[in-house]
Structure formats: C-alpha cells, structure tokens
C-alpha cells in the first residue's frame, strides 16, 4: 500500500533525485501544482503567471518510510527561508511548499515547520507554504528523470 506526498523545493530535477534515492519511496514524478491554469506546460509555468509550483509527487510505502522522515528530507535539501527562490532559480514556481493530501499530513507538516522555526537553525523566518494538494499535472516526459537521463543522478544537487 502506497501513499502520496507532494513537495515544492525549487527546480524539480534535483528534488526528484533526492527523493528517488530515499528508501521507501516507490516512485517520483515531477510536475506542477497549485496554480490556476489547467494542463500547464513548462513554458506556461515559467512565465510565473499560472501560480503553479514545480513539485515532486512521491508514492511511498509508509511501512518503510514515515511522512515525518520525508519532511526531514524536504527540510534538509533546500532553503525554506528564501521566498520564491532556490539558489539561482527565482520565481513563484520555485517556492518552498508542502502540499498535503490528508489532515494527518497537514498536522505533521505544521508541527514540523514549527519545530524547525523554534530550533534556531535559520536566522530568517521559514516561508514554506502548507497548502492542500490540488490537481497535480505531470511535467513533460523530458523532465521526468531528467538528471538520471544525463548521467547526473548520482550527484548531490
């Protein structure tokens, strides 16, 4: 039995590799979520006008990896204090976001974010949005396993 988890943490190529290499994660798709345009393309999302975030949607086995562990991986692999940017990528599509699928995921995400803020790990506020998952649109085929296809999936991105 698998469950879904969806995260936005900047450009989805590196985020995909990170989660694909997490034990218990069965599959990862990159795509778009959180916007207003139906069936957006990469070109549409890159305009910043659709409201979508670049996201990874995971199928994971909760008997092998907990949602809390997935949240830890999410927090450890991007900067949740930069609004609408990760590294050189700037725009609302690169925002830090957790899209929850169940009330339990919402509660876990909120508790995890509060714990991170209280930890003092970051000097600036955590700007990660926590929003109910809406329609997920898979990205074009050439974006799926993008770094793996180019022989870069073993790199820490």
pLDDT band at 153 (very low <50, low <70, confident <90, very high): low
Would you kindly state where each structural domain of the chain is located, as residue ranges?
3-149
Mark 85-117 as b/e (b = at least 16 C-beta within 10 Å): bbeeeebbbbbbbbbbbeeebbebbeebbeebe
Summarize pLDDT for 16-51 with one digit per residue, the tens.
999 999 999 999 999 999 999 999 999 999 999 999
* Residue 155: active-site member: no
CATH architecture of 3-149: 2-Layer Sandwich (3.30)
Catalytic site residue from 5, 9, 11, 53: 11
**pTM for the structure as a whole:** 0.93
Summarize pLDDT for 50-108 with one digit per residue, the tens.
999 999 999 999 999 999 999 999 999 999 999 999 988 899 999 999 999 999 999 99
Phi-psi region of 122 (alpha: psi -120 to 50; beta: other; left: phi over 0): beta
Task: Write the DSSP assignment of 83-108 as a string of letters.
Answer: TTEETTEESGGG-EEEEESSHHHHHH
- Angle 117-48-146 (CA atoms, 0-180°, nearest 5)? 80
């Amino acid at each position: 039995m698998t469950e879904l988890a969806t995260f936005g943490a900047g450009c989805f190529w590196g985020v995909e590799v990170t989660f694909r290499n997490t034990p218990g994660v069965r599959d990862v798709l990159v795509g778009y979520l959180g916007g207003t345009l139906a069936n957006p393309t990469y070109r549409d999302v890159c305009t910043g006008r659709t409201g979508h975030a670049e996201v990874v949607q995971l199928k994971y086995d909760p008997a092998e990896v907990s949602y809390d562990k997935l949240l830890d991986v999410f927090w450890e692999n991007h900067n949740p204090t930069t609004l609408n940017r990760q590294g050189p990528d700037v725009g609302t599509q690169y925002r830090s976001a957790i899209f929850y699928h169940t009330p339990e995921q919402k509660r876990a995400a909120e508790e995890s974010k509060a714990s991170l803020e209280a930890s003092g790990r970051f000097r600036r506020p955590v700007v990660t949005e926590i929003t109910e998952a809406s329609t997920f649109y898979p990205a074009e085929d050439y974006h799926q396993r993008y770094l793996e296809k180019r022989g870069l999936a073993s790199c820490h991105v």
